[in-house]
Structure 1
Amino acid sequence: MKTTLERARQKTNENNIDVLQAIIEKNYDARQGYRKAMMDVQDPELKNFMQQQARQRSNFTNEIDQQIRNLGDTPIENGSMAATLHRTWIDIKTRVASNADETIIEEVIRGEKAKVKEYKDALKNNLLAPQTHNLLQSQLKAIKNTLQDVKHFNAN
């Protein structure tokens, strides 16, 4: 029979895993989105930026993967079907747009804003262990920086 402390630790552990599984899925989606954007944009500087972001999201997934494994679970290994459908929608939009790069930038901005909200919502969770909270806080800061950087391309 588990003590109250053991049950509380288990609940915290399970909560951390649930939060991290949801976030890793979003990062798989973002990584694939950036890879797709990198292939579709024309501007060389923007193409390089998209490649850097895909690499960053790959690093995020690796960090979260390790955290989930440290908590004793197996991480999911891919993104969502909804994101796959969204990338298809973006393909259609860019084909009919007069400026595909601009359309892609707008979608990246929209996606990054959604990621900021998802991370903030996750960080409001009172059951996050300090290492999970710190990891998500660090990644959120990087996402906010990306959002500012991509807005630079939108201004050009």
Structure 2
Amino acid sequence: MSTYTATISNKLNNLLEKTKDAEKGFKTASENTNNTYLKQYFERKSKERYQFGYELNNEVRLFGERPKKSGSVTGAAHRTWMDIKALFSGNNDEAMLEEAISGERATLQEYNNVLNETSLPISTHSILLKQKDIIESDLKTIKTLEDLQ
């Protein structure tokens, strides 16, 4: 049987923070592209990450912990960097896709780190595995989109 520890709570809260960063990052990307397809794609990813955050938030609360309410300082700095890059880059769509790839890779590492926790509750493991599978699929899609640029 699993035990919900402070370590698991911290790891889930870190994932929640990064999920909120990704949600805002995809929103920023959607605002910085003129490509209609990419705009719609980034908007869908932002909404998807909002849903991920909602699920993680509920899971943290289920075990009596307090979820983090906002993204990280690092995430805010990353979005500012995306805005600056978009301003000065000749091909800002490619630059944003590269940033998305980098972010998705880092996110997958975080998910793998938490999923390796042996004492995860079954409900938490199930949610994280589902989200991780979606992120892996998203990463493949973003790489394909980058190749088309």
Correspondence list, 1:12-51, <5 A = 12-51=4-43
Correspondence list, 1:2-151, <5 A = 9=3, 12-151=4-143
Does the CA-based 8 Å contact 1:13-1:71 persist in structure 2? Answer: no
Give distance in 2, aligned partners of 1:71 and 1:15.
13
Which letter maps to 1:144?
E
Deviation at 1:95, TM superposition (A): 1.7
Structure 2, unpaired ranges of 5+: none
Kindly, what percent of the aligned residue pairs are identical?
Answer: 30
Deviation at 1:105, TM superposition (A): 0.6
Give distance in 2, aligned partners of 1:84 and 1:19.
20
Larger Rg: 1
* Matched position secondary structure for 1:42: coil
Give distance in 2, aligned partners of 1:95 and 1:24.
29
Which letter maps to 1:147?
L
Does the CA-based 8 Å contact 1:108-1:150 persist in structure 2? Answer: yes
Does the CA-based 8 Å contact 2:8-2:114 persist in structure 1? Answer: no
Which letter maps to 2:65?
D
Structure 1, unpaired ranges of 5+: none
1:30-58 Cα deviation digits (max 9, x unpaired): 00000100100111001000000000000
Name which structure has the greater RCO, CA cutoff 8 Å, separation 6+.
2
Which letter maps to 1:44?
T
* Deviation >3 Å, runs of 4+: none
State yes or no: 1:153 paired with 2:137. no
Give me the CA root mean square deviation. Answer: 1.5
